[in-house]
Amino acid sequence: MITYEIPKNFDIEKIIEVFESSGIVRPTKEKERIKSMFENANLIYFAYDNGQLIGLVRCVTDFSYCCYLSDLAVKKDYQKQGIGKMLIEKVREHIGEKVALILLSAIPAMNYYPKVNFEKADNAFIIKRKS
């Protein structure tokens, strides 16, 4: 049975396993950077299958106006089972209807997000990271 929870602590190696299995591009060779990404996020949900970490969502939010969904990753063997959708739903329940949920999509995921109720925005800008 798949369970969802806000983690009290986290294992960086397990997070890296999820990222690498999911196909999402993250700096998985930089453990300290991944650790910092999770230590400085203020809303995280993990998905477990019998205690094994299989999916995650990581957000930065003010809990009042906007929430930036930074990472959504599900291990390859668990994809297309509604786990990503449920992780997004957990975030939506937590932040409430008055908070906008915003994300920057990877090109391969552009067709996924409309299926889970995101609307494509035409009014966004980005200053890209250097590395």
Helix axes of 31-39 and 12-22: crossing angle, nearest 10 degrees:
100
The tens digit of pLDDT for each residue in 1-43 reads: 999 999 999 999 999 999 999 989 898 899 999 999 999 999 9
The domains of the chain are located at 2-116
Distance, in Å, from the CA atom of 49 to the CA atom of 117, rounded to the nearest integer, reads 25
Tell me what the mean pLDDT of segment 47-57 comes to: 97
Range 50-59 average pLDDT: 97
Higher pLDDT, 101 or 109: 101
- Which CATH code of 3.40.710.10, 3.30.70.990, 3.30.590.20, 3.40.630.30 fits the domain covering 2-116? 3.40.630.30
Whether pLDDT at 126 is above 90: no
* Confidence label for 79 from pLDDT (cuts 50, 70 and 90): very high
Q: What angle do CA 5, 9, 13 make, to 5 degrees?
A: 100
Sheet holding 52-61, edge to edge: 2-5, 43-49, 52-61, 66-74, 100-103
